[in-house]
Structure 1
Amino acid sequence: MIEQPSVVDSTILWQPNDTWINESNLKKFADKVGLSVQPYDRLHRWSIADPGAFWCHVWDFAQLVGEKGEVTYIPAKDGGMLGAKWFPEARLNLAENLLRGDGLRTVVYEATEHGVTRRVTLDDLRNLVAKAQTGLRALGVGQGDRVAGVTTNGVEGLVALLATSSLGAVFSSCSPDFGAKGIIDRIGQVQPKVFIASVNYVYNGKSFDITENIAAVCNELNSLNAIVTLSEAVELTQAKATGAKQLTWAELTKNDADEPTFTRMPFNSPQYILYTSGTTGLPKAIVHSVGGTLLQHVKEHQLHCDLKKGDVLSWYTNTAWMMYPWLVSGLASGAGILLYDGSPIPKDRVGILFDIAEEIGISHFGTSPKYLATLQKYGYQIGQKHQLPALRSVLSCGAPLMDEQYDWMYQTIKQDLFLASISGGTEIIGCFVMGSPVHPVRRGEISCKALGMAVDIVDERGASVIGKKGDLVCTEPFPSMPLTFWGHGGDERYFNAYFAERDGIWTHGDLAKQTINGSLVIYGRTDTTLNPGGVRIGTAEIYRVVEQIPEVKDSIVFGFPIENDEEIVLCVVTDNGQLDQAVAEQIRLDVRKKASPRHVPRRIFVVKEIPYTNNGKKVEGAARSTVRGEEVKNKASLANPQCLAEYARLSERSYF
């Protein structure tokens, strides 16, 4: 018999060896529940078929502190997703779980564009939280009260979050780089009792004074007992009408407290209020529970990201994005975290984030496709410039990770690397699909459905499909579902956002595909999906090709209606603000070849800027609405709304 040659799967870029698998948290978890870690699909099916047992085991595996109770899960009376109850007898506190462990270990690294500026041990952090807790309690903060922060990503902002949580209060945050209206549109909805604010920040070497913005925000907050500024005392003249006490962070924390106390709350007590960054009306103020947040995060960190005690987790984020509380929860797994404030690529130190990773031994490096694409265009060779022996995993979210970026990372960082593209949202303060330490990494694919998440891809009939594009849905309840949307009619608005399209099924709004390997591909948001000739096309499919063209620095694509169809419009940013006809034809040729003829842009324009949200996401909808002459209702969500003026005149210009 002639032995047949083995077939090599060229899509696999990394395969965990036996040591990786056997030492993984996921393998240890599977052993504890009496199941094999492979095949993973069987473990996943159990996690959604018996959700009470699964999430109870997650609580035990993560050794959460609190009273769990005897009952784990009560299904909704109608068998749907809304109305299910999790751990109805439990009482716990987020801060208590984040502040436990060896007090001598370093748990927080603070850094700026100049590098690491501060290292904080757990004992020091507990002491700082105790003082802030005492100060907040003196200002009248208690269970269920809201504390809002507009803070830089530093130690004081973290302490404010933890002190708020320790009291059983609700924390909501925004980033200082939002304008006054953007902050008011968010924080103004929840009317906090205490407002904690940075009055200045530095980005890309430039200092920004936002005292006037903060004063304007305070003037809209009728609920305030106090305004706390993180730096020196400033005169918030516009805020005087509120009658709120004004004090500095130093004054708030000037007391003798050295150990925090913790108010344990029911599992479904509000913990965070987060905001979407859409451009159609006020941002949705999404209320998340203390128990659902903590349980979801320890599951994702420990089982999917393989985060262990002593590891160091980083994620480039501001305090407005859901990845901020996700990062902070890394403390619950015994890991240290990096708080970085500044530009990810400052003009005089392109590799700052990897400089820091090398210095403090980051094990899990969280980033975005945009950041990686920028480094790639700079020609920055990470592995040649940095020694990164501690780095085990690179995690990416915020947009689909392109096929070529998978290749580039393995070529430029290191070969033995657990690379995971993850995807979920603010709405669930976590992920639907993730990587895992027991899965191979396949080019352009997200490795698996997250445990405990009944994810499926369905077509217009509602039928599950494999190998075809469809809507990403979730069909069973999970603990980190929102409690409600804050404000009048919150339950109804929540239902309309995720359950109106398919009764009893969460429709997330992503266009995706599941493969025969159990992996998934995300093509973009369904509200920006292109539909030329009636065929649904994800914008990520075009970006994947266009952004490999050397002359293209950035791009955005959207559909423009024409007769009973639509044509694809592509806008590109180039170094010199110009585009040769030859390059335009190369773009069309590459898109036709690497995507399909239907993906080929009908019109190509050169623009100066691409509209982004403050959280760094492209806003195709804002560009499309502007070109169509429609109002963009929530420009305050954009980091650079002024760039839309160019799109308003796009139809008057010549194109390629």
Structure 2
Amino acid sequence: MSCSPPPIWQPDAVSASHIGEFAERVESSTGQHVRDYRDLWHWSVDQPAAFWSSVVDHFDVLVDDVPDDILPDPTMPGAQWFPGAHINYAEHALRRRGSAAAVIAVDEAGTTTHVSRDELRGMVGAVQQWLRDHGVTRGDRVVGYLPNSLPALVCMLATTASGAIWSACGQDYGAAGAGARLAQLDPVVLIADDGYHWNGVAHDRRDDVAQLMSQMPHLRGVLHVQTLDTAAANRNSTLSRWDDVISHPREPVFTRVEFNEPLWVLFSSGTTGAPKGIMHSHGGVTLDHLKLLGLHNDLGEGDCFFWYTTTNWMMWNLVASGLLVGSTVVLYDGAPTHPDPARLWNIVAEHRVTMMGLSPGYLAASEKAGIRPRVDLDLSSLRAIGSTGAPLPAHAYHWVRDNVGASIQLASTSGGTDVVSGFAGSAPTTPIWPGEISAPLLGVNLQAWDDLGKSVIDEVGELVIVSPMPSMPVAFWNDPDGHRYRDAYFDTYPGVWRHGDWITLTDRGSVIISGRSDATLNRQGVRLGSADIYEVVDALAQIRESLVVGVELDADKYWMPLFVVMADGHVLDDNLRRRIVEELRTHASPRHVPDDIIDVPAIPHTRTGKKLEIPVKRLIQGRPSSQVIGVDTVDDPEALDHFRRFAVTSKSPR
């Protein structure tokens, strides 16, 4: 029997929620008795065809030629959903008309642009016509080198409305990093901004745009977005201008494509090789995001959805899908702590956000900065906070309750770019336990497997998905025989998706993420999760952030150092080392105590905020930097330099 604190948040008036209405509809249409969320989840994975058909009906999905058998062969990989059906993602995103706000775009300087549903349709139609004028047709690739801005959203919708394939990259990547992703798609159109602002500094990207163009030999057109004050320098440019194109609004035209036809290409982080292009389908994304946003996040008409993200991250795609359920979406282009650490909270208050999303790191930074959103701001519109990118420590749940609001549902989520969605999360009908994710998501047959491939409860195991999901990739780019796809997810358990996370499924049905299984800490044969260490250490006021790795040196030697970045005004001395050891012994276990505690200036992350445990481990094992990670995938490349000095060239740690 698992032990955990009592729930910190309990459902209230669940029958009024979208998922409550969905459950009632399931009962009336199928006769299935649904007492609670767990009943609904079991039905959704036991009867996947009935479940996803109910999603289609509940959201009145616009789809033609629906087959009698929507999943004729569930074998993975290669399961085909709704074979022969036709659908278009953009058609659903833009199906609502009127003067209600569809988009609120905010830049770092505080400039806000409100775009109505009708105005958004007109912009999308204008860009779609420009794309057609440049010969873009179904299956062509259109790529964006763009920040999280209105043009990025409009161009994605214009591309996908015609059945062309979209992909984007943020401008924090230079030409080399962006080209490593976008150029491999051999695009026919590039849409690029001249630059972006970050922490009050303008970053000119015109030279990078020129270099990108040189890597794309089959471009038929380039659409230029002007964010920086470069009008004079570009007055004679032969590039098409964003302002000119959208000055001629028109109605978009939607091409319904095969259900499993590619919608967009997202890229893996590239931490273990060249970035992989992951293709998702029109139908799979539309259905999954309707389920995730409309049922789990309880979003719909009249709601406002904001998640801090960049175009590099799958959360940008999920924010765009807020349009599917009729919500207003907020796009923020800028640093999350500029001009002060409360920047994101201020956006929530100013724009009456219903659900906000952020990282565990931002919550920790808010706590350490002494921010009191409940006291200083009007957050009466806020109903839920989503968090993803890393495990959310238990103390963050208490901080949100005490400093944001006891009624706020803090919904930690686990998923990935691989499925552009989630595996586990929350719903208005699920309790919240500190440090835990409420449940597997509907339609996600998630299990924890031990080394023998046996499902386990209340034990740490591999996160596996034993039945197909509609949003699983249809393919990898440039992988004609599918071997890279199979190797990525199905090499360990044939026919079963292995995601690469250590999880525990509790007897209550909640999920605890322990960290990446390929970065597992293994002390004397006992597996440990790095998340357990971060929860304790990162909560200390003296520590800004930490990173732990387990390094196998030879057959019988193992080194587990803990690297810490000190908060301003603090130093790592013997007293603090003893405090860290005692906290880990008390709140984790003696096995979680590191061999060494080492002060470093910075911790490296992916550009989506995940700590780079595996590359650091490989550097310490003596691997050359060029074989460990591409510099363009790291948020702060200099942070890696601090770890090269710990490379173990002998058989014993330093």
Calculate the TM-score normalised by the size of structure 2.
0.94
Deviation at 1:116, TM superposition (A): 5.0
Contact conserved, 2:186 with 2:218, CA < 8 A, in 1?
A: yes
- Describe the shift of the 1:46–1:273 C-alpha distance in structure 2 as closer, same or farther (beyond 3 A): same
Identity in percent: 37
CA 1:304 to 1:633, structure 2 compared with 1: closer, same or farther past 3 Å?
Answer: same
Matched residue SS, 1:338:
strand
**In 1: Cα distance, 2:542 partner to 2:204 partner:** 36
Is the CA contact (8 Å cut-off) linking 1:109 and 1:116 kept in structure 2? no
Alpha-carbon shift at residue 544 of structure 1 (Å): 0.3
What does 1:67-466 correspond to in 2, within 5 Å?
67=64, 69-76=66-73, 80-115=75-110, 117-231=112-226, 246-255=239-248, 257-346=249-338, 348-466=339-457
Question: Comparing 592-601 with 227-236, which one deviates more in the overlay?
Answer: 227-236
Which sits farther off after the overlay, 431-440 or 616-625? Answer: 616-625
What letter is aligned with 1:47? S
- Conserved 8 A contact 1:484-1:490: no
Which letter maps to 1:393?
A: A
Change in CA separation of 1:475 and 1:234 when aligned onto 2, cut-off 3 Å: farther
Shift, 1:650, TM fit: 3.0
443-452 vs 84-93, which moves further:
84-93
* Alignment equivalent of 2:646, drawn from 630, 647, 650: 650
Cα distance in 1 for partners of 2:378, 2:111 equals: 17
Work out which of the residue numbers 27, 52, 66 in structure 1 matches 2:49.
Answer: 52
* Deviation at residue 68 of structure 1 after TM alignment: 5.1
Query: 1:455 Cα deviation (Å)?
Result: 0.5
Q: In 2, Cα distance between the equivalents of 1:438 and 1:43?
A: 11
The CA deviation at 1:524 is 1.0
Asked if residue 596 in structure 1 is aligned to residue 601 in structure 2, the reply is: no
Q: Is the 8 A contact 1:313 1:362 kept in 2?
A: yes
CA contact (8 A) 1:53 1:72 kept: no
Q: 1:470 aligns with which of 446, 458, 461?
A: 461
1:30 aligns with 2:26: no
Query: 8 Å contact 1:529–1:537 — kept in the other structure?
Result: yes
Q: Distance in 1 between matches of 2:205 and 2:166?
A: 21
Distance 1:36 1:13, change over 3 A: farther
2:423 alignment partner, SS class = strand
2:59 — aligned with what? 62
Which amino acid letter does the alignment assign opposite residue 316 of structure 1?
Answer: Y
1:39 is matched with 36
Task: Give the direction of change, closer, same or farther, for the CA distance of 1:9–1:281 in structure 2 (3 Å limit).
Answer: closer
Query: Residues 430-471 of structure 1, C-alpha deviation per residue, up to 9 Å, x if partnerless?
Result: 011110111111111111111111110010011111111000
Structure 1 residue 89: Cα displacement: 2.7
Q: 1:640 aligns with which of 632, 636, 639?
A: 636
Q: Given that residues 51 and 73 in structure 1 are in contact (C-alpha distance below 8 angstroms), is that contact kept between their aligned partners in structure 2? A: no
Other structure's SS at 1:442 match: coil
| CA drift at 1:598 | 1.2
641-650 or 153-162, which deviates more: 641-650
After superposition, what is the alpha-carbon deviation per residue over 1:592-642, rounded to whole angstroms, capped at 9, x for unaligned? Answer: 111111111111111111101111221112222222221323222111112
Deviations 1:198-254 (Å, cap 9, x if unpaired)? 121001111111222222222111221122221156989xxxxxxx97322234445
Deviation at residue 41 of structure 1 after TM alignment: 2.2
Between the aligned partners of 1:174 and 1:337, the Cα distance in structure 2 is 20
- 2:260–2:282 Cα contact (<8 Å) kept: yes
Note closer, same or farther for the CA distance 1:213–1:226 as it changes in structure 2 (3 Å cut): same
Show the counterpart of 2:549: 558
Deviations 1:125-148 (A, max 9, x none): 011111111101101111011000
Matches of residues 523-562 of structure 1 in structure 2 within 5 Å? 523-562=514-553
* CA–CA separation in structure 2 for the residues paired with 1:581 and 1:124: 61
Deviation at 1:576, TM superposition (A): 4.6
| Paired residues of 2:423 and 2:444 also in contact (CA < 8 A) | yes
Native 8 Å contact 1:524 1:538 kept in 2:
yes
Q: Is the contact made by 1:568 and 1:599 (CA closer than 8 Å) also made in structure 2?
A: no
Inter-partner Cα distance in structure 1 for 2:276 and 2:178: 13
Distance 2:169 2:438 in 1: 32
Please give the alpha-carbon distance, in whole angstroms, between the structure 2 residues aligned to 1:98 and 1:404.
Answer: 37
User: Within 5 Å, which residues of 2 pair with 1:572-651?
Assistant: 572-574=564-566, 575-576=568-569, 578-631=571-624, 632-650=628-646
Structure 1 residues 421, 549: CA separation in 2 closer, same or farther (over 3 Å shift)?
same
TM-score norm. by structure 1 comes to 0.94
The aligned amino acid for 1:650 is F
Contact 1:73/1:84, CA 8 A, preserved across alignment:
no
Q: CA deviation at 1:101?
A: 1.6
- Cα distance in 2 for partners of 1:70, 1:118 equals 43
Asked whether the 8 Å contact 2:260–2:281 carries over to 1, the reply is: yes
CA contact (8 A) 1:532 1:565 kept: no
Deviates more, 1:620-629 or 1:316-325: 620-629
Q: Tell me which amino acid in the other structure corresponds to 1:93.
A: N
Deviation readout 1:343-390 (Å, 9 max, x if unpaired): 1111x3321211121111100011110110111110111111111111
Q: 5+ unaligned residues in a row in structure 1: which ranges?
A: 1-7, 237-243
What is the CA distance between 1:514 and its match in structure 2? 0.5
Shift of 1:70: 3.4
Distance 1:233 1:194 in 2: 22
Query: Contact 1:403–1:544 at 8 Å: present in 2 too?
Result: yes
Aligned counterpart, 2:511: 520
CA distance, structure 1, for counterparts of residue 15 and residue 484 of structure 2: 45
RMSD: 2.0
Q: Which amino acid aligns with 1:647?
A: F
Give the Cα separation in 2 of the matches to 1:14 and 1:502. 36
For residues 65 and 536 of structure 2, the distance between their equivalents in structure 1, rounded to whole angstroms, comes to: 50
Would you say the 8 A contact 2:270–2:629 is kept in 1? no
AA paired with 2:35?
Q
1:504-543 Cα offsets, whole Å, 9 max, x none, are: 0000101000101100100111111111212111111110
- The yes-or-no answer on 1:509 pairing with 2:504 is no
| Aligned positions, number | 635
User: Tell me, what secondary structure is at the counterpart of 2:459?
Assistant: coil
Three-state SS of the structure 1 residue aligned to 2:507 is coil
Q: 1:651 offset after TM fit, Å? A: 5.5
Shift of 1:489: 4.2
Structure 2 residue aligned with 1:486:
477
Which amino acid letter does the alignment assign opposite residue 247 of structure 1? Answer: S
Q: CA deviation at 1:120?
A: 0.6
Confirm or deny: 8 A CA contact 1:11 1:442 kept in the other structure.
yes
The 10-residue stretch of structure 1 (577-586 or 391-400) with the greater mean CA deviation from structure 2:
577-586
Counterpart-to-counterpart distance in 1, 2:308 and 2:87: 29
Separation (CA, whole Å) in 2 of partners of 1:356 and 1:325: 20
